[in-house]
Amino acid sequence: MLLTYIYYVRLFLTLSLFLILQGCFDILYIGVDTMNYLPINETILNTHKSDCWAYYCYLYKCITHIYLNFTDTITINISIDAARTRYGRAYADLSQPMWSGYSKNWEKEQILITGVHTTVMPFDVFEKLHNLIITLPSRSRSTYCFFYMYLYFKCHSFKNDYGTTMERLEAEIGCNSRDASKKFKFFNEAGMLRRMGRANAQLGVSYRYFLPIELCSGLN
């Protein structure tokens, strides 16, 4: 009985979030059960390209609640509990000097995002990503995290069908084709990213990237 009740409560809250993104409600204050999402947009990715891994581990452990408004101007207001920062460092498994170097300029109480296209990643997807990336050397984690976060964002932005050329992807992510192929293989073998490719005389090699449906947020 209790499990049935919990199921329907979660279903109601998920549907409420979906309706907000369709403009049916004005605002939503996300409570304990539905605040479990991480925001991803180009502003965050560009700002935290070098510390992507540490920053998202920080958000994962320190977010206390999220306020969304997707009606007129996109507004995302995220409250942070800076007292939990130590849990973020432990989760990222980084040395104190490295963590301090990254975190000294981070927001400690609030993150306000306005007017920027934003998608969200469920916590359970980030947990899978974390369990995969944590196996890499610490110096490699941010580049792998950025690669996946970027493509997750793009896939969601293009209805899970993001087409691009290898040359363009290299320029956007900042790596060469060999490195991009290595990262894709890493996530593909873990079942977290897919692509279909074709050769074109004018465009070179182009790919369509997409996520396994179970990893999509279902919100955008």
| Residue 32 neighbours by CB distance under 10 Å | 8
The answer to whether the CB of 39 falls within 8 A of the CB of 118 is yes
Instruction: Return the pLDDT at 204.
Output: 64
Domains of the chain, by residue range, sit at 2-149, 158-209
pLDDT, residue 190, reads: 96
Q: How many of the other CB atoms lie within 10 Å of CB of 1? A: 5
CA-nearest of 119, 113, 188, 112 to 147 is 188
* Res 83 pLDDT > 70: yes
When pLDDT is cut at 50, 70 and 90, the band that residue 74 belongs to is low
Tens of pLDDT, residues 15-51:
444 433 433 323 333 333 346 888 899 989 999 999 9
Average pLDDT, the chain: 80
Distance between CA atoms of 46 and 218, rounded to whole angstroms? 24
Average pLDDT value for residue range 172-199 = 90
pLDDT at 147 exceeding the cut of 80: yes
- Assigned token pair, 24: 């049916």
pLDDT single digits (tens) 118-134:
888 999 999 999 999 99
Average pLDDT of the segment spanning 151-168: 90
Asked whether 68 and 28 are in contact (CB, 8 A), the reply is: yes
**Least confident among 139-153, 169-183, 191-205:** 191-205
pLDDT at residue 1, rounded to an integer = 52
pLDDT interval class at 80 (50, 70, 90): confident
List of residues 6+ apart from 210 with CB closer than 8 A: 155, 160, 161, 162, 194, 195, 196
Higher pLDDT pick, 113 / 117:
117
Q: Indicate the pairing of strand 28-30 with strand 37-40.
A: unpaired
Phi and psi at residue 191, to the nearest 5°: 75, 25
Q: Are 40 and 121 in contact (CB under 8 A)?
A: yes
Pick from 33, 196, 197, 191: nearest CA to 125: 191
Write down the pLDDT at residue 199: 55
Q: Mutual orientation of helices 166-173 and 177-189 as an angle, nearest 10°?
A: 90
